[in-house]
């Protein structure tokens, strides 16, 4: 059967993280984008309240990024990064390393956040083995954490529906308690209480033994689970406990990297330096898939210098440091710098905070959480239909010309960093008008 005889134009595509039956019964399509807006095939503008999927930080189809990809595609479309190099890959590694605090200055390129997480976990295991501590194989995640969809990522992740369909997952994984505290509802920015939740790591050390634990991985701000902002002092305390027990600390900054919180990354914003950082999304402004893991020089040297001659780390991807992705990333970093978009996000954050918290008291809203240019608006679940109220809001907002993201009964907002104050007010105005009617 050829394409011309397929019975249904939308039947072949098994859509990711989508209610396929519901979508195909009533499709909502996008076909173009520019700056702050998507456009439907009919030409209707949809204001992007989510930077695509937390990733289009500089806005859509930016000319400098588009032209960089076009030039690179005309010069060399692909080359293997195994045993061969390309100048852009080395240039980009230096640019990425310059955005992270020392001693993090060694960069391994991937193609997604999921790949970055699995890469970081493997590097952590390889590091301990190279140092003669092969007993350190246990990985610690956190409840409600999201670390992509690879088997490593869903194993350390703590979102039930992402884990349950796939059996026992990786052995030797445990989880810290979530930082979510319902009693701190409507906190602006970081909650003042909750740093002691980091002490849950001491419980796991006592349970399993410090000499069995390789690494702890957390999102500095947990995004996909519904925007959980770290309590003041929590990350600092977690860092200190890891240091005390020789455990590596991994920050999953796939969402928080490249300006989302008003700084180059959460590591810089909070002043807490992990041993490895996972990046993706905003690295290329999502124009070409790409991710990266930045690790300390000490980790790199331990793995490389202790290996026998030949390949030191048996890991990599066909598309690691893909030349088109490198070109897109370098152009994106240029745009961020030339337009001071990280600083712009910090300048807009107070207006953003006031706008999203104006929804407090709106019918069905039970919490609002925010930091930088990200917010989670939690709705009261409809009795017997968890998630239905938020999904109904998603569909109604799209029909009103606003793209939001929902997870369970939480609305997540994370607009491109080029958003204007007027567009922020427009987003919140649409939600304020819709939410009381989501019965």
Q: Are residues 267 and 356 in the same domain?
A: no
Residue 392: what pLDDT? 96
pLDDT over threshold 70, residue 317: yes
Residue 8: what pLDDT? 58
Number of domains the chain contains: 2
Residue 3: what pLDDT? 47
Look up the domain containing 28 and give its range. 3-58+340-437
Q: Are residues 83 and 120 in the same domain?
A: yes
Boundary residue ending a domain (307, 338, 369): 338
Residues above pLDDT 90, as percent of the chain: 97
Q: Are residues 128 and 236 in the same domain?
A: yes
Question: Is residue 424 within 8 Å of residue 351, measured between CB atoms?
Answer: yes
CATH number at residue 238: 3.40.640.10
Residues 6+ apart with CB under 8 A from 214: 124, 125, 127, 128, 136, 137, 138, 139, 247, 248
CATH number at residue 40: 3.90.1150.10
Q: Are residues 213 and 142 in the same domain?
A: yes
Query: What is the per-residue pLDDT across 361-416, written as a single tens digit (0 to 9) for each?
Result: 999 999 999 999 999 999 999 999 999 999 999 999 999 999 999 999 999 999 99
Count of CB atoms within 10 A of residue 363's CB?
11
274 is written with which tokens?
């992990």
Q: Are residues 50 and 70 in the same domain?
A: no
Q: Are residues 168 and 202 in the same domain?
A: yes
Separation of alpha carbons 334 and 260, rounded Å: 16
Q: Are residues 18 and 158 in the same domain?
A: no
Query: What is the per-residue pLDDT across 102-142, written as a single tens digit (0 to 9) for each?
Result: 999 999 999 999 999 999 999 999 999 999 999 999 999 99
Query: What is the per-residue pLDDT across 338-354, written as a single tens digit (0 to 9) for each?
Result: 999 999 999 999 999 99
Q: Are residues 127 and 51 in the same domain?
A: no
Q: Are residues 154 and 190 in the same domain?
A: yes
Query: What is the per-residue pLDDT across 203-240, written as a single tens digit (0 to 9) for each?
Result: 999 999 999 999 999 999 999 999 999 999 999 999 99
- In this prediction, residue 439 has a pLDDT band, given cuts at 50, 70 and 90, of low
Q: Are residues 115 and 231 in the same domain?
A: yes
Boundary residue ending a domain (293, 309, 338): 338
- In this prediction, residue 193 has a pLDDT band, given cuts at 50, 70 and 90, of very high
Residue 68: what pLDDT? 98
What mean pLDDT comes out for the span 269-274? 98
Question: Is residue 418 within 8 Å of residue 233, measured between CB atoms?
Answer: no
Q: How many CA atoms lie within 13 A of 219 on its CB side?
A: 28
Separation of alpha carbons 238 and 224, rounded Å: 21
Residue 9: what pLDDT? 76
Q: Are residues 369 and 429 in the same domain?
A: yes
């Amino acid at each position: 059967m050829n394409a011309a005889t397929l019975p249904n134009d939308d039947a072949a595509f098994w859509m990711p993280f989508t209610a396929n039956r519901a979508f195909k019964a009533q499709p909502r399509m996008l076909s173009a984008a520019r700056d702050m807006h998507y456009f439907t095939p009919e030409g209707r503008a949809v204001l992007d309240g989510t930077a695509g999927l937390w990733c289009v930080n500089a806005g859509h189809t930016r000319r400098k990024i588009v032209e960089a990809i076009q030039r690179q595609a005309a010069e060399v479309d692909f080359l293997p990064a195994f045993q061969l190099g390309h100048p852009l890959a080395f240039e980009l590694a230096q640019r990425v390393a310059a955005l992270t605090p020392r001693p993090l200055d060694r960069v391994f390129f991937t193609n997604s956040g999921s790949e970055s997480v699995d890469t970081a976990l493997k590097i952590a295991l390889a590091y301990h083995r190279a140092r003669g501590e092969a007993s350190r194989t246990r990985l610690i995640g956190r409840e409600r954490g999201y670390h992509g969809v690879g088997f490593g990522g869903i194993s350390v992740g703590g979102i039930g529906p992402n884990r349950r369909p796939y059996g026992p997952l990786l052995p030797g994984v445990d989880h810290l308690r979530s930082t979510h505290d319902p009693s701190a509802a409507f906190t602006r920015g970081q909650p003042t209480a909750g740093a002691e939740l980091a002490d849950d790591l001491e419980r796991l050390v006592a349970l399993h033994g410090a000499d069995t634990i390789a690494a702890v991985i957390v999102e500095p701000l947990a995004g996909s689970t519904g925007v959980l902002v770290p309590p003041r002092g929590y990350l600092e305390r977690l860092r200190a406990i890891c240091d005390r027990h020789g455990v590596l600390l991994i920050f999953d900054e796939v969402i928080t990297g490249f300006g989302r919180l008003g700084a180059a990354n959460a590591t810089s914003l909070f002043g807490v330096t992990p041993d490895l950082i996972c990046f993706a999304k905003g690295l290329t402004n999502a124009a070409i898939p790409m991710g990266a893991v930045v690790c300390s020089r000490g980790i790199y040297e331990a793995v490389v210098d202790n290996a026998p001659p030949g390949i030191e780390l048996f890991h990599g991807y066909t598309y690691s440091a893909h030349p088109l992705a490198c070109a897109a990333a370098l152009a994106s970093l240029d745009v961020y710098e030339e337009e001071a978009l990280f600083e712009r996000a910090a300048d807009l954050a107070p207006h953003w905070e006031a706008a999203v918290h104006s929804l407090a008291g709106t019918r069905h809203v039970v919490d609002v959480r925010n930091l930088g240019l990200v917010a989670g608006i939690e709705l009261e679940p409809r009795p017997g239909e968890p998630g239905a109220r938020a999904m109904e809001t998603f569909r109604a907002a799209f029909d009103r010309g606003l793209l939001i993201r929902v997870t369970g009964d939480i609305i997540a907002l994370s607009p491109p960093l080029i958003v204007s104050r007027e567009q922020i007010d427009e987003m919140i105005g649409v939600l304020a008008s819709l939410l009381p009617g989501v019965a």
